[in-house]
Amino acid sequence: MSDDRELARRHLVPHFTSAGTWNADDLVVIERGEGCYLTDADGNEYLDGLAGLFCTNLGHGRSDLTAAAAKQMDQLAFYSNWGFAHPAAIEAAAMIAEFAPADLDRVFFVNSGSESVESAIKLARCFHLANGEEQRHKVIARKMAYHGTTLGALALTGIPRVRDPFLPMITDTVRHVANTLDWHLEPGQSVADLPCVTEVEEAIVAEGPETVSMVIAEPVQNGRGALVPPDGYWQELRRICDTYGVVLCADEVINSFGRLGYWFGSERFGAEPDIITFAKGVTSAYAPLGGIVARDSLVERVWDSPLAMFTHGSTFGAHPVATAVAVANMTAMRDEDVFAGVLANEAHLAGGLADLMDAHACVKEIRGAGYFYAVELMFDRASGTELTEEQFASLLPGGVLDGFVRSERVLVRPDARGAAMIMIAPPLVADVAVIDDLLSRVDKVLDRTSGWLHASR
């Protein structure tokens, strides 16, 4: 095991991980998984309370998914989707079109969530070009939203510490507006009057509607901690986009394929986007795959224009093995009625988290839906005392909260994007027993956090 750690430190560059964390003596090497649990190379078992990274929706160790990959490799390991099709991609696209809301039935495959967002940006642009509206190139996105790391997706991302190092390389075509944090409808109040709605329309008008291509938002926003929109929010986004001829995109890289209890999170909120991005759960992360599903009218307009094609692509887009795994994954989700379990158990998860909030004064708020929650931290809820800068910096990222999580063998995510939070998103196959185990371990993490906070004053 020590050799593995040393080889990792010597040769493997991690994603979004500090040097101190990577070089620590307790670097965890995950070796295998089964259901909702993982085992490291030292034989320690962990509860996967983040579904890998919001993506192993069917859990670990699914032999049906690995068998689908092996069978496809034996038959056709790879051929390009550039001017060619193959059965796995055709079947996967047809299934996604069947499950997608309304008339979104054209599927374009790529390899990741970032690439999915890039694809949405480009399709919206190509659509406007096809309509002769060459000035439309700007995008309205939300503050603290995470949309990916490739330069186009990064331009949309509203998290300063992720975006700012690359600002000289990012085109100034994105305007960030209020997200839905803390905006709740009061009796007699209209959702149209909330700043999280009015700022969208104001930004379009200020930029010049003739220059705006797309509005993008997640049904439940990940960055800043599982932000659930107020009732009617998505209907207002639809109204605004229709008023100004702007494409509406729902970024569902996390929200789709059951995370909120539906094939697509847009269904939960009655949203009617023109484009939906997806990735992560489409294969339960057993193979890299992402993509967009778009309205027929957008794609047909592009094909019928002088462009005559969607000017975008990648070598591995619609990869036969990845799309074969997607078919097996979606088939299992459908046949096993997995989403019904999420909807049946979400109240137990939410209620258990609410009980933890009552029991721990260091919990400020619980937010989320389905199997997607954030636990926001403070020093003391009763007195309204927030964390000091020093406490925040010591807790995370890569601080003592990481240590508490690992010592309790629960893989949830300490998150510093705008507040001190713990992100929780178990595999969709987590039953009441697994949820109770998850809550018990998080309870112990909060106990240790509370003790550390009071000792740090």
Q: How far is CA 415 from CA 17, 156, 420, in A?
A: 12, 20, 6
pLDDT of residue 268: 98
Q: What is the mean pLDDT of the chain?
A: 97
H helix or E strand, kind and range, residue 154: helix 151-156
Domain 64-335 grouped into CATH 3.40.470.10: no
Q: What is the pLDDT of residues 262-287, one digit of tens each?
A: 999 999 999 999 999 999 999 999 99
| Confidence grade of residue 120 (pLDDT, cut at 50, 70, 90) | very high
pLDDT of residue 315: 97
Structure tokens at 221: 């926003």
Structure tokens at 117: 């967002």
CATH 3.90.1150.10 maps onto the chain at 2-61+337-455
* Cβ neighbours of 84 (radius 10 Å): 9
Q: How far is CA 104 from CA 113, 134, 292, 316, 378, in A?
A: 18, 24, 10, 23, 42
pLDDT of residue 243: 98
pLDDT of residue 447: 98
Q: What is the pLDDT of residues 52-67, one digit of tens each?
A: 999 999 999 999 999 9
Asked if pLDDT for residue 424 goes beyond 70, the answer is yes
The closest of 110, 41, 92 to 324, measured between CA atoms, is 92
Q: What number is the average pLDDT over the span 106-125?
A: 98
Q: What number is the average pLDDT over the span 117-141?
A: 98
pLDDT of residue 1: 54
CATH 3.40.640.10 maps onto the chain at 64-335
The CATH superfamily of 2-61+337-455 is: Aspartate Aminotransferase, domain 1 (3.90.1150.10)
Q: What number is the average pLDDT over the span 231-238?
A: 98
The closest of 409, 416, 439, 448 to 26, measured between CA atoms, is 409
Residue 31 φ/ψ region, left for φ over 0, alpha for ψ in the -120 to 50 degree band, beta for the rest: alpha
pLDDT of residue 2: 66
pLDDT of residue 25: 86
Q: What number is the average pLDDT over the span 316-344?
A: 98
Q: Quote the CA–CA distance of 397 and 401 in Å, as a whole number.
A: 8
Q: What number is the average pLDDT over the span 117-130?
A: 98
| Confidence grade of residue 456 (pLDDT, cut at 50, 70, 90) | confident
pLDDT of residue 450: 97
| Confidence grade of residue 84 (pLDDT, cut at 50, 70, 90) | very high
Percent of the chain topping pLDDT 70 = 100
What is the pairing mode between strands 138-142 and 212-217? parallel
Q: What number is the average pLDDT over the span 239-250?
A: 98
Q: Is the pTM of this model over 0.95?
A: yes
* Cβ neighbours of 299 (radius 10 Å): 18
Asked if pLDDT for residue 184 goes beyond 90, the answer is no
Q: What number is the average pLDDT over the span 393-413?
A: 95
pLDDT of residue 277: 99
Asked if pLDDT for residue 69 goes beyond 90, the answer is yes
Percent of the chain topping pLDDT 90 = 94
Asked if pLDDT for residue 186 goes beyond 90, the answer is no
Residue 83 φ/ψ region, left for φ over 0, alpha for ψ in the -120 to 50 degree band, beta for the rest: left
